[in-house]
């Protein structure tokens, strides 16, 4: 597969931003029992970079959230798999996701963690797409705001490819369409 990816956010821009988010988080969570809970799989690369910029003690955990659209309805159901997530009761949880799109995933996860007894829940995202949000949620920490385009790289994927790219880029639309058609046939 030889798709063309146009750089939207360079590796050095990402590294600078992650460093400054790390400093902010460090200051905000000083003396708090912080757990950074990363949403699989898209936030893994950011997690690895971010935690190495945070020098206060903190725990790292993972959670999986997959949305399924019913065959006869447009409603989506979010299935949460927390087998890799430790107990969050009385912890200050920072949920880390790759991108805030409609906002459904983070909203559902915040509710879920509150039910599990988290002391506080905040959110951090690498990217926020403008013009797509369906539920009112403001990320507490946001790397970059991007237009409504499909992006890959730095953890984000298209059919599980491109996650390894050290930058965020836009997959050329005709390539995405062609690939989707191949898969459907
Ligand atoms: P919601 O809509 O609940 O979902 O905010 C966020 C999830 O949607 C996926 N997503 C993308 N993944 N490139 C991707 O690789 C994109 O441009 C994109 N937009 C949304 C992603 O899994 C994210 O966690």
Domain ranges of the chain: 11-147
Which residues are catalytic, by number?
A: 101
Q: Determine which residue's CA is closest to atom 8 belonging to ligand 1.
A: 101
CATH class, domain 11-147, is alpha beta
Q: Are 37 and 88 in contact (CB under 8 A)?
A: yes
Percentage of residues in the chain having pLDDT higher than 70: 88
Q: Determine which residue's CA is closest to atom 18 belonging to ligand 1.
A: 150
The string of pLDDT tens digits covering residues 18-63 is 999 999 999 999 999 999 999 999 999 999 999 999 999 999 999 9
99 CA to centre of ligand 1 in angstroms: 5
Q: 171 or 121: which carries more pLDDT confidence?
A: 121
Does ligand 1 lie within 6 Å of residue 150's CB atom?
Answer: yes
- Determine the pLDDT at residue 1: 52
pLDDT exceeds cutoff 80 at 114? yes
150 CA to centre of ligand 1 in angstroms: 9
Q: Greatest CA separation found in the chain?
A: 55
- Determine the pLDDT at residue 183: 44
Does ligand 1 lie within 6 Å of residue 126's CB atom?
Answer: no
CB atoms within 10 A of CB 79: 10
Q: Mean pLDDT score of the chain, rounded to an integer? A: 90
pLDDT exceeds cutoff 80 at 173? no
Does ligand 1 lie within 6 Å of residue 84's CB atom?
Answer: no
Percentage of residues in the chain having pLDDT higher than 90: 78
Q: Which of 106, 105, 136 is nearest to 121 (CA)?
A: 106
111 CA to centre of ligand 1 in angstroms: 19
Separation of alpha carbons 19 and 49, rounded Å: 8
- Determine the pLDDT at residue 92: 98
Q: Which of 149, 75, 151, 136 is nearest to 106 (CA)?
A: 136
């Amino acid at each position: 597969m030889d798709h063309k990816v146009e750089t939207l956010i360079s590796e050095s821009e990402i590294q600078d931003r992650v460093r400054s988010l790390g400093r902010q988080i460090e200051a905000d969570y000083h003396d708090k029992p912080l757990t950074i809970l990363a949403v699989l799989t898209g936030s893994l690369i950011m997690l690895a970079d971010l935690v190495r910029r945070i020098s206060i003690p903190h725990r790292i955990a993972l959670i999986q959230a997959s949305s399924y659209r019913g065959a006869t309805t447009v409603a989506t159901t979010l299935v949460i798999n927390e087998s890799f997530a430790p107990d969050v009761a009385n912890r200050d949880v920072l949920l880390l996701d790759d991108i805030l799109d409609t906002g459904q995933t983070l909203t559902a996860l915040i509710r879920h963690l509150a039910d599990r007894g988290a002391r506080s829940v905040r959110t951090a995202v690498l990217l926020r797409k403008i013009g797509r949000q369906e539920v009112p949620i403001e990320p507490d920490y946001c790397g970059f705001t991007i237009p409504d385009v499909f992006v890959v790289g730095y953890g984000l994927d298209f059919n599980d490819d491109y996650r390894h790219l050290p930058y965020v880029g836009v997959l050329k639309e005709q390539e995405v369409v062609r690939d989707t058609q191949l898969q459907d046939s």
